[in-house]
Amino acid sequence: MRVLGIDPGTIVTGFGFVDEEDNHLFYINSGTINLSQKSDIGIRFQQIYNEVEKLIQSFKPNAVIMEKGFYSKNVQTVIKLAQVNGIIMLASVNAAIPVLEYTPLEVKLAVVGYGAAKKEQVQHMVSHILRMDKPISSHHEADALGVAICHLHRKVKYKK
């Protein structure tokens, strides 16, 4: 099973592909979708949709997994992140790929074993679990890989 983990964002969206075979996890690819803060939000949404669509076409995941839950004092930020989630869901559903979500707490428990883990701890454990040769470039990338690991640890199987 191959999953695409996504850490949604309006400026930086992290993504990571992880395969599971015979109870072993394998790192495939990861990175970030970087957008200009100066660009109109509608243009950024279009870019996110197009990039996610390309990733799905290139790597053919069986499921798309995202972090859910938005916590911010700024209501506008919460709304924009919810819109990004909807855009990612649309790109996934248009490709007939199921979308699942996990809270940051669930991801931290699955990856680190501690729900209040710091971003650096998650980044370190993701690299360790996936036996990565290259350093993880950002916490967005680590969070995306972490949510993929969380899903695969739960052993939920979905057919394409």
Low-confidence ranges of the chain (pLDDT < 50): 156-160
| Amino acid 160: pLDDT | 43
What is the pLDDT, as a whole number, of residue 158? 46
Quick one: pLDDT at residue 71?
67
> Rounded to two decimals, what is the model's pTM?
0.93
* Terminal Cα-to-Cα distance of the chain (whole angstroms): 10
pLDDT of residue 74: 82
Q: What percent of the chain is predicted at pLDDT more than 90?
A: 81
Looking at residue 155, what is its pLDDT?
A: 64
Give the model's pLDDT for residue 145: 98
Give, for 102, the enclosing helix (H) or strand (E): strand 99-102
| Alpha helices (runs of H) in 1-158, residue ranges in sequence order | 41-59, 75-94, 104-111, 119-129, 139-153
Per DSSP bridges, beta strands 12-21 and 63-67 are: unpaired
**Residue 83, burial from CB neighbour count under 10 angstroms (0-12, 13-18, 19+):** middle
Domains, the chain, in order of start with CATH, read 1-152 (3.30.420.10)
Write out the H or E segment, with its range, that includes residue 31.
strand 24-34
